[in-house]
Amino acid sequence: MRIGELAARAGTTTRTLRYYEARGLLPARRTDNNHRTYDECDLRLLRQIRTLQDFGFGLEETRPFVECLRAGHPQGDTCPASLAVYRRKLDELDALLEQLSGVRETVARQLARAELAAEAATPGGPEPECELGGHTW
């Protein structure tokens, strides 16, 4: 298939496909008249890349999965390098979840403090100070 058809079937653009080709993620096969040509395996590679990117993997993080698919592994994620990327991504996600949990706790404390201050405020009295994040405005 030609580049336009592959782009349409993969739900992407020809520009993206050329970029992937330049990065070495998509093979650059050419016909005698110098047109790019692709097959179903290339579509599968693109779907793998897109799925991983949808899950938050960077383009370079998809490389081991692409190489695993090219090596003949049907899922593209059973090779040691792919497994290592999964492990790193899980560590990264765990760290983000921990950070978000801390932020959530801070916001919950600030809300509780603000609600108490709002209940205690008297009409016409001085404006309460904002202490979000340790800063007073």
The chain-wide mean pLDDT, for the chain, equals 90
pLDDT beneath 70, residues of the chain? 122-137
DSSP string, 64-129: HHHHHHHTT-SSS--SHHHHHHHHHHHHHHHHHHHHHHHHHHHHHHHHHHHHHHHHHPPTTSPPPP
Tokens 């395996």 sit on residue: 41
User: Is the pTM higher than 0.75?
Assistant: no
127 assigned to some structural domain: no
**Residue 83: which CATH number?**
1.10.1660.10
pLDDT at position 28: 81
Q: Which of 7, 25, 15 is nearest to 61 (CA)?
A: 25
For residue 128, what pLDDT is reported? 58
In a domain, 128, yes or no: no
125 dihedral zone (left: phi>0; alpha: psi -120 to 50; beta): beta
CB 3 within 8 A of CB 43: no
Please give the residue range of the domain that contains residue 95: 3-117
What per-residue confidence (pLDDT) applies to 74? 86
CA–CA dist 48, 67 (Å, integer)? 11
Position 23 scores a pLDDT of: 94
- Split into its structural domains, the chain has a count of 1
Q: What is the pLDDT of residue 120?
A: 86
At 97 the pLDDT is 97
- pLDDT (0 to 100) of residue 55: 92
Q: Does the residue 102 lie in any domain?
A: yes
Run of H or E residues at 27: none
